[in-house]
Structure 1
């Protein structure tokens, strides 16, 4: 639709930030001087891109830079801002912008005077209590995360068995082990309802089933779902490049937006104009970059850590501006590095505190809930139950001591003999070839140096526009000996890579766990490469192309699975394809083609499924499928 950008005089000083329909844009000019408009929402984690200088646009969250003329990123190859042509008229500047996909969600909850209570159990684990119903989010409580690298700090004071007795339901945002933590989750009753986002093609459901949790529900995005009397939840995609999610919980009209460590998704604001509480990550730390990267100097690392912390505070302010909450809860950053070998990283790891967030938002009309694990905000009287001597947790000597004690109490997280072979690595990487994720990498190489007590395994992986080759090497391939446009070297404990490969985990468990000592040349972030390692199973099944390959037209489109199962005799057919839709809450928000895509059916399976269902449904005969 045609939208007015502003007065014609705006072009006299470019580039400049402008706001259109409540969203940020940057008005700039192309190389020939023609006005252009860039979407100022960063494609990484939704931060607001601003004008750094006449030649640089920058997102302060992670310092992604963009060219004001083209919108192309200058330090993240292949990434760009969405750009729109601008028409100059006598009465001002105009641009053709996408029609808003918004529409305020309608909740069935009845507003009451009763407010929930929220306990910060640990890190990203919140205990939300309302009218006899208790929801626990992302419980990482018992034992380390990220292959033994992270421990909760301050320590989680809650006992898992006690929580298991009082919790009515669990919510898991995503797969990282500080959110989906098998040792903690395995201690809950198998029948405990667990809710996950309807993303990742049943990946989260399968992982939870492997743990032994049998009552898993996938919530469709942007669709309110009833959890209990007068309690509803709605899930949103992260809006970033990573597999993550956002949860909104409506407790009798009091709305809590759990952003965890996602960033900002502007689409949420179109569906939910305001909330009562925002809970969000607030500090640096959830990445080995820059501290584990050897091509950077100590001064460069300190500068990058400072930038990350400033960016996180700016994100907190942005969330407050977007959703106008009465309360802001900083969380999802309560951890420390427990491994003795990681002590040098812990010493360099400066992190914001909840008090820093309160100071930063001092001029905003919001109350910052400065909680540490074990503390509880009581909505009934707006009070906070504090833990004794809480200030000790902000001392470096206490953090080091408690981290060491936690490490000494660990049993080895990965207790495996390192016997990984070149053949296994070759099969692992080449199975990812030909996928859209692999094609987006273009020219890139990875040198792996896997170290064990008795052996070292080195290999060279080359990515070239979808092709992937693995070469066993006697010694690591140095930057100068690589022909690829970009090259990363990683030195990693071999048994950990072996565990990630054999258990089909995300390489984030290594990267975020500070396990890899790395360098890159040139010093550019190849986002496509890290996305491949973030979710290699998506490349193996090429899930990004599943929906494209269907090309199926059917009168069943738009008819929800819940309606189909309730009114037709199709459940036995669905089960033959692995679709157990009876009683599944996801069925309220997906039709037959969406269900086939989410469950990972290939083109021919989807066609056969639709044909079989159509044959069983009198009301929808004779659907046509075209090549």
Structure 2
């Protein structure tokens, strides 16, 4: 794509500095201990594990206390026979070990014993003490998916730019083409915020339009996944920011990165723009465990649906897949309802807007992978406003032709002229991957050996045709406990083994080859619906996917050429 060069900005570059921390106040709740018995007690909002029965005149002895909030999507866990399961995302917590079946741990709540009761810390209130005492003007413009232009105090920040080409290895296509003005704004931005290393946020084809000294801000994840990915693409000015610390470009543009509450490496952004508090969150599940500033001017959050391969990559009945998918969509509605109450925004705008599996080979997925329509989000806001007239909230549909200018107490919307780029042709990208990448089982084995991943886990990689029906190349089995990696026939595929997690990944041959050759995150295969998965036990295996999608990555900037050689 040819973009005319922009004039070099002769003004002084915008600089960033650390300001400090939020002021925090704890919210607590009194939980009576009377009548609690030794062991696990489900008391509705909480589950309490007592060391022994509470005796008259004795202080209660508590092993731990937890809330019944799902750490993945913030839904209310439903406790039954030693498991607490989320009705929206299906995460299941094993109560005895306080570990979800996928391997993610749940932290007990802090508490103090007061007589025969517990004072439990339930949440925290956060306030920016460096915030301006008056509210001025700022601008936000939506460009596509999760890409926003934010302007205040002379600084310009772009978030998660995916503007050209597909994401997830030729699978995901923007609902509408981006405009040339979005690309120009990207080039002129002072800083770029990348919330995660998924390719709908950290999009190599879009980022290739930028000079390598463009400044980026990212969350300082333990694995350095976003930072590593950007450095592998050649960028040199990357600023990993500590979570919940406040930084600023000026007194009119302050910001802080918040981590997802589920332990996955996604993040969102708090910004204070001329005294207005704003939350921008494309993918951060249960963001900052929903401990967020309140009385927001604007809340930007996902509503249409996520980018997970669950449940359509799982080997389950279509009816079951549809039920699980619909539950996930309801989870996005529940999140909106919850955040309206917690953050009290004046305006809500959905981001991470729909993209589609437009390739003919993914037509079945496109039909099944339905989205929440925006009108249902507006209905939720309208219902909330009718019962909270003093805190009415207005829904804003994302529109690339509008610049939103927030004033002291109102909003002005400016209509912009736009010039659209050409719409992508999905089959050209499918043909590129098929033509460009050749699967080599020895290369896959070398890649797996280099990961240094140790677990009681057996993963079998089955290269298949594009419809997953035929095995088209040698199968590789990885025993991560014994560190044995070998080529096997179909009859030796292990489907279950006592004491081990077992995965069978049926992956499109050229996609598996591309991921290995370019050291890409394994999750790209799932989010792009390029694989079908069998697993025992039937639960997401967090450690495996985290290691091969965040720890053991070094993405190469391979060039996409759509012309046949």
* Distance (whole Å) between structure 1 residues aligned to residue 35 and residue 298 of structure 2: 37
1:521 counterpart residue number: 536
The answer to whether residue 554 in structure 2 is matched with residue 534 in structure 1 is: no
- Secondary structure of 2:291's counterpart equals helix
Q: 2:152 aligns with which of 124, 130, 133?
A: 130
| Corresponding residue number in structure 1 for 2:189 | 167
Task: Point out where structure 2 has 5 or more consecutive residues left out of the alignment.
Answer: 1-25, 55-60, 385-390, 555-565
Tell me by how many angstroms 1:127 deviates.
1.4
Alignment correspondent of 2:30: 5
Q: How far, CA to CA, are the matches of 2:284 and 2:161 in structure 1?
A: 17
**Is the counterpart of residue 120 in structure 1 residue 133 in structure 2?**
no
2:464 to 451, 467, 490: 451
Tell me the equivalent position of 2:226: 204
- Residue 39 of structure 1 corresponds to which residue in structure 2? 66
In the alignment, is the contact (CA less than 8 A) between 2:174 and 2:355 conserved in 1? yes
Secondary structure, aligned partner of 1:149: coil
Give the SS at the match of 1:414: helix
1:283 corresponds in structure 2 to 304
* Residue in structure 1 matched with residue 411 of structure 2 by the alignment: 382
1:319-338 matched pairs, under 5 angstroms: 319-338=339-358
The structure 1 residue matched to 2:319, chosen from 272, 288, 299, is: 299
- Name whichever structure is richer in strand by fraction: 2
Distance 1:71 1:403 in 2: 53
Distance 2:416 2:372 in 1: 20
Using CA pairs under 8 Å that are at least 6 residues apart, name the structure with larger relative contact order, 1 or 2. Answer: 2
Quote the offset at 1:252 in angstroms: 1.2
Normalised TM-score (structure 2): 0.77
Could you tell me how far 1:133 is from its partner in structure 2? Answer: 2.9
1:431-510 aligned at under 5 Å gives the runs 431-433=450-452, 438-439=454-455, 442=456, 444-451=457-464, 455-464=472-481, 467-475=482-490, 477-480=492-495, 485-510=500-525
Paired residues, what number?
505
Q: Structure 1: which 5+ runs fail to align?
A: 19-24, 389-401, 540-627
- Alpha carbons 1:111, 1:252 under 8 Å: kept: no
Q: Which residue of 2 aligns with 1:605?
A: none
Scaled by the length of structure 1, the TM-score of the pair is 0.70
Task: Give 2:368's aligned residue.
Answer: 348
Question: Per-residue displacement from partner, 1:455-498 (whole Å, max 9, x unpaired)?
Answer: 5121111233xx43212113264455756633222221222222
| Structure 1 residues 327-358: Cα deviation after superposition (integer angstroms, max 9, x where no partner) | 22211132111221110001011211222222
CA RMSD in angstroms comes to: 3.8
Residue 428, structure 1, aligned to residue 447, structure 2: yes
CA distance in 2, matches of 1:212, 1:190: 6
1:146·1:178 contact (CA, 8 Å) conserved in 2? yes
Task: Evaluate the alpha carbon distance shift between residue 405 and residue 363 of structure 1 in structure 2; reply closer, same or farther with a 3 A threshold.
Answer: same
Distance 1:515 1:523, change over 3 A: same
Change (3 A) 1:78 1:229: closer
Deviation at 1:141, TM superposition (A): 0.2
Distance 2:484 2:264 in 1: 25
Kindly tell me: are residues 202 and 64 of structure 1, through their superposed partners in 2, closer, same or farther at Cα, counting changes over 3 Å?
closer
Q: 1:370 aligns with which of 397, 411, 419?
A: 397
Shift of 1:311: 1.1
What is the CA–CA distance in structure 2 between the aligned matches of 1:320 and 1:99, rounded to whole Å? 18
